[in-house]
Amino acid sequence: MDFYPHAFTGRIERHALGTMVYTVVFLPDDLAAELPFDEHPRLRMSGEINDAPVTGAWQPVRRRWYLMLNKTTLRAIDAGVGDEVEVRFRIEPQEAVDAPDDLLEAIARDPAAATTWSRMTAGQRRGSSHMLSSAQRAETRRSRILTVVAALAAGTPPGPPKRTRPR
């Protein structure tokens, strides 16, 4: 079996969804028909675009699936809207969560937080983990760990961090 068993050439597009506009690459229909979207409508994947590593999920929209591409990924693949790219990927275990060790250690020290964490979905755990990975400063990361643990200890999954400045 190939390291990346799925591959295609696609075009980077702008995709409007409500008031939001995303930069995406759509999965070809014939390839989508081979994948388990009936069981997992948002299918976790890892792979490469133009030889740069990517991770994410194929997201559904009107019986099509797309992968969102952020600015960091677009710089890494040296491509933009309208460019054709080579996409190679594999499907990842859908319940896998790469939670940072410092978060897991903080949760383990609080039994109530650990109980709430164990009841959360994989997506909720990934969201909490992402809050930490998006922190740019060490003090922000520490503050977010405390926020996550406090929310968990109160019995609720934490929400996204509040923006401190406008975009």
Q: What pLDDT sits at residue 97?
A: 81
Please report the domains of the chain, with CATH numbers, ordered by start residue.
6-91 (2.40.30.100), 101-153 (no CATH)
Is pLDDT of 2 > 80? no
Is pLDDT of 4 > 90? yes
Q: What pLDDT sits at residue 121?
A: 86
Is pLDDT of 58 > 80? yes
Distances (CA, A) of 10 to 43, 77, 80, 136: 18, 13, 12, 32
| pLDDT tens sequence across 109-143 | 999 999 999 998 888 888 888 888 778 899 999 99
pTM as predicted: 0.69
